[in-house]
Chains A and B, each alone.
Chain A
């Protein structure tokens, strides 16, 4: 049935068995990504239990090589690199989660308003989308951080302010299509206000897009944060993986010895794993969403 085919998975009428539904939603790659993400979240949550030392404590001499006491050696001021790595997950995930949440809230508000209201508001908001999409993100972030001063809050805010347009655009299209449907028009005819209609009828229809938006925004946020910290523009007190790499490379001649193996490589691998996890979930979601849309 055409109507059935148009329905998006999040709004599926008869809920399937949860794991099968998850698999239907994410696919194999998506589940692999989810497991990886959960593992990294566990690392962040249980950091105090997993880390052998306080990451800020000077627990060894500077530049120790890996040993039983310090599995990944110590950094230039004698802090345990493994502990820094484990605690670093907290920063990366915090940035990912907050920036993604901010992005999606903006995207739903703006995309929803544009799609629902239409007319000049739609026109104005979509031109804003075009404008922000045309801006190069990393250079702009570098500029904003240099001007406003480095801070985790500023960084999250600017990432969110620059990342909402693609998601907003997709949400607008979906809202436009949903509000034309018979049952929505009928509900409006019976006196349903915009807020009621949005919450009761439209939101469920855009839920999968929101999840997808969250995942992609989180992936971008992780990479942007690591990039900025790596360039020395991050919050110097929030020891993220990107900042660890910056500190490692700040040691002159780092690459002339094998020191990079336990100091530079691990945070790099961690950033890669987190971005990979989010990308896998995103790919899983996207291909399932595409499949549904192609049935039209």
Chain B
């Protein structure tokens, strides 16, 4: 402790001096002096790492930030630009058959793996077949289960056949499934842990130089042989930071993003050039999952509804997000999603009503276990305080089960919890996620999956909307699905965080939130397209 106090004191003194200096030196002066003229490429882009997100092989990464790292090395058939348009990537052209069952992709010619081996249609077929043969190996936002088979149909053509028409195929499958080299992975026995030769060889714009599990640091450098040309950002470093706001002011990083919990006071230091701030609405949610596989009072919908009445979601928006976000909709999808149904049944904060519902359900005061992580990025301890005080007021005792984020992700996948506070992004993406999380036949396992929930009406709608290419019909089906979820409450969404990216425009200025997210729906402002090309749209690399 004496050590950390000395450290604290030193930090504070350094800070005081920094503040004094900040008044004397124009902000960003140091940067303008060292940064190359704007006509040249960005030499180094340093970003906050936020922890260790696994190793960036196609199978070794965790969550969205992990996918980001892997996506720098590995490519997908198509990608998405800052306008939300699907753009050519490994495939230059794609088409859907008249019966809506087969997608045909024409692959780019002359693409090479980073080890010099030519990229071929065989690699694509192998990758997709591999995901089909090894369920659970694909990125959780990438949908494999609608695919029936993949086959090479020409020298540079691949056909992907579906089990049934699948409306969101491009965004949730073609834009999200990472393609990896056959000559490396066909001999690997355990893909998740493999870090040997070729594990980090992709077709991508960046090569992995090194990564450190202990520090959560990752270092990538541009691949000059990349198929679109030499990338605009030449080097991307993910570095550990303690306070992103200080780190940005100190020039240790070039940008950071945050989900919720922002105040004007915090953003005040970034009001003037070279800093800029950009906002986006909430696609990242904090949700209360009820495990209905376990024999607990939670199996009674009235108990879950009582909890919805007991938990003050408006207070969370005020006290956890400082107003920077929105209260959860019982229908799961956030207002930022184009398919959001604003008219689902809601549960106003009403402890009296909660007690009445509990009495009606014959709840006997059994304590309920609440699982959550102490990972501070997730801000869940504060959320837990508000949940607990609400449940206690309604007469529900709460037992705490505390874990770190990785253990927690495993526990939510295995279903060893009763109630869990789970946070994840992508809720603004395609509404087929409702089927994946809630349909009783969904093969998805992982933190987004609602366990033990089964409603035949919901299942029927979930199956039907998949093949609906008429937007109006699909919207109606998805609206009805949200109404059912709001009544059954297998999950209680607590809040959706608004998003903000703060950056030093003198280092790099091309920051956007991709509409609907990238990589299948990742709501972070780190779409690799903007680093590679340097502009919001198009494939020509900025000079």
User: What residues of chain A lie closer than 8 Å to B262, measured between beta carbons?
Assistant: 252
User: What residues of chain B lie closer than 8 Å to A233, measured between beta carbons?
Assistant: 374
Assess the B382–A254 pair: CB atoms within 8 A.
no
Assess the A78–B243 pair: CB atoms within 8 A.
no
Tell which of B107-115, B192-200, B263-271 binds the partner. B263-271
Q: Is the C-beta of A22 less than 8 angstroms from some C-beta in chain B?
A: no
Find the B residue at minimum CB distance from A275: B1
Q: Is the C-beta of B404 less than 8 angstroms from some C-beta in chain A?
A: yes
Identify B1's interface contact among A56, A224, A260, CB under 8 A: A224
Q: Which of B182-216 contact A (CB under 8 A)?
A: none
Interface size class of B (residues with CB under 8 A): 35 or more
Assess the B8–A236 pair: CB atoms within 8 A.
no
Q: Is the C-beta of B277 less than 8 angstroms from some C-beta in chain A?
A: no
Assess the A150–B374 pair: CB atoms within 8 A.
yes
Identify B246's interface contact among A58, A247, A253, CB under 8 A: A253
User: What residues of chain B lie closer than 8 Å to A271, measured between beta carbons?
Assistant: 1, 5
Q: Is the C-beta of B402 less than 8 angstroms from some C-beta in chain A?
A: yes
Q: Is the C-beta of B385 less than 8 angstroms from some C-beta in chain A?
A: yes
CA–CA, A252 and B258, complex, Å:
10
Q: Is the C-beta of B356 less than 8 angstroms from some C-beta in chain A?
A: no
User: What residues of chain A lie closer than 8 Å to B15, measured between beta carbons?
Assistant: 255
Tell which of B127-135, B289-297, B318-326 binds the partner. B318-326
A232-B11 contact given A253-B243, A272-B5, CB 8 Å threshold: no
The minimal Cβ–Cβ distance linking A82 to chain B, given in whole angstroms, is 18
Q: Is the C-beta of A227 less than 8 angstroms from some C-beta in chain B?
A: yes
Q: Which of A244-296 contact B (CB under 8 A)?
A: 246-247, 249-257, 260, 268, 271-272, 275
Assess the B376–A250 pair: CB atoms within 8 A.
yes
CA–CA, A247 and B385, complex, Å:
13
Q: Is the C-beta of B4 less than 8 angstroms from some C-beta in chain A?
A: yes
Q: Is the C-beta of A170 less than 8 angstroms from some C-beta in chain B?
A: no
A77-B320 contact given A252-B266, A271-B1, CB 8 Å threshold: yes
CA–CA, A76 and B260, complex, Å:
13
Q: Is the C-beta of A161 less than 8 angstroms from some C-beta in chain B?
A: no
Assess the B374–A253 pair: CB atoms within 8 A.
no
Q: Is the C-beta of B156 less than 8 angstroms from some C-beta in chain A?
A: no
User: What residues of chain B lie closer than 8 Å to A272, measured between beta carbons?
Assistant: 5
Q: Which of A202-254 contact B (CB under 8 A)?
A: 222-224, 226-227, 230, 232-233, 235-237, 246-247, 249-254
User: What residues of chain B lie closer than 8 Å to A56, measured between beta carbons?
Assistant: 385, 389
User: What residues of chain B lie closer than 8 Å to A78, measured between beta carbons?
Assistant: 318-319
The minimal Cβ–Cβ distance linking B396 to chain A, given in whole angstroms, is 16
Find the B residue at minimum CB distance from A231: B4
Q: Which of A49-107 contact B (CB under 8 A)?
A: 56, 58, 61-63, 76-78
Find the A residue at minimum CB distance from B244: A252
A149-B403 contact given A62-B322, A257-B265, CB 8 Å threshold: yes
Contact with A along B365-388 (1 / 0, CB 8 A): 000000000101001011011100
A232-B374 contact given A62-B319, A149-B402, CB 8 Å threshold: yes
A237-B4 contact given A232-B376, A252-B244, CB 8 Å threshold: no
CA–CA, A233 and B404, complex, Å:
9
Find the B residue at minimum CB distance from A228: B1
Q: Is the C-beta of A5 less than 8 angstroms from some C-beta in chain B?
A: no
CA–CA, A260 and B11, complex, Å:
12
CA–CA, A77 and B269, complex, Å:
23
Identify B322's interface contact among A63, A146, A257, CB under 8 A: A63
Assess the B376–A226 pair: CB atoms within 8 A.
no
CA–CA, A237 and B245, complex, Å:
27
Assess the B12–A255 pair: CB atoms within 8 A.
yes
Find the B residue at minimum CB distance from A253: B245
Assess the A77–B382 pair: CB atoms within 8 A.
yes
Assess the B374–A63 pair: CB atoms within 8 A.
no
User: What residues of chain B lie closer than 8 Å to A236, measured between beta carbons?
Assistant: 374, 381, 384, 400, 402
The minimal Cβ–Cβ distance linking A142 to chain B, given in whole angstroms, is 12
A150-B402 contact given A77-B386, A256-B245, CB 8 Å threshold: yes
A230-B12 contact given A253-B245, A256-B249, CB 8 Å threshold: no
Identify A146's interface contact among B269, B400, B401, B404, CB under 8 A: B404
Assess the A255–B243 pair: CB atoms within 8 A.
yes
CA–CA, A260 and B12, complex, Å:
9
Assess the B249–A268 pair: CB atoms within 8 A.
no
CA–CA, A224 and B4, complex, Å:
11
User: What residues of chain A lie closer than 8 Å to B249, measured between beta carbons?
Assistant: 256
Q: Is the C-beta of B2 less than 8 angstroms from some C-beta in chain A?
A: yes
Find the A residue at minimum CB distance from B312: A58
User: What residues of chain B lie closer than 8 Å to A226, measured between beta carbons?
Assistant: 1
Q: Is the C-beta of B315 less than 8 angstroms from some C-beta in chain A?
A: yes
User: What residues of chain B lie closer than 8 Å to A252, measured between beta carbons?
Assistant: 243-245, 258, 261-262, 266
Q: Which of A121-160 contact B (CB under 8 A)?
A: 146, 149-151
Most A C-beta atoms less than 10 A away, residue of B249, B258, B266, B403: B266
User: What residues of chain A lie closer than 8 Å to B384, measured between beta carbons?
Assistant: 236
CA–CA, A272 and B9, complex, Å:
12
User: What residues of chain A lie closer than 8 Å to B404, measured between beta carbons?
Assistant: 146
Assess the B315–A58 pair: CB atoms within 8 A.
yes
Find the A residue at minimum CB distance from B263: A63
User: What residues of chain B lie closer than 8 Å to A76, measured between beta carbons?
Assistant: 261, 319-320, 322, 382
Identify A77's interface contact among B19, B244, B374, B385, CB under 8 A: B385
User: What residues of chain B lie closer than 8 Å to A230, measured between beta carbons?
Assistant: 4
Assess the B315–A256 pair: CB atoms within 8 A.
no
The minimal Cβ–Cβ distance linking B517 to chain A, given in whole angstroms, is 23
Find the A residue at minimum CB distance from B389: A56
CA–CA, A61 and B323, complex, Å:
11
CA–CA, A77 and B320, complex, Å:
6
Find the B residue at minimum CB distance from A223: B1
The minimal Cβ–Cβ distance linking B241 to chain A, given in whole angstroms, is 10
CA–CA, A252 and B319, complex, Å:
15
CA–CA, A226 and B1, complex, Å:
7
CA–CA, A221 and B263, complex, Å:
37
User: What residues of chain A lie closer than 8 Å to B401, measured between beta carbons?
Assistant: 149
Assess the A255–B11 pair: CB atoms within 8 A.
yes
Apart from A224-B1, A256-B249, A257-B265, list 17 A-B contacts with CB within 8 A: A63-B263, A76-B319, A76-B322, A77-B382, A77-B386, A78-B319, A149-B402, A230-B4, A232-B376, A236-B384, A247-B381, A250-B376, A252-B243, A252-B262, A253-B266, A255-B11, A275-B1
Q: Which residues of A contact B (CB under 8 A)?
A: 56, 58, 61-63, 76-78, 146, 149-151, 222-224, 226-227, 230, 232-233, 235-237, 246-247, 249-257, 260, 268, 271-272, 275
18 CB contacts below 8 A, A to B, read A58-B315, A58-B319, A62-B318, A63-B263, A76-B319, A77-B382, A149-B403, A224-B1, A227-B4, A236-B384, A236-B402, A250-B376, A252-B266, A253-B265, A256-B249, A256-B266, A256-B269, A271-B5
A-B pairs with the 9 shortest C-beta distances?
A: A223-B1, A253-B245, A77-B319, A253-B266, A236-B381, A227-B1, A255-B15, A252-B245, A62-B319
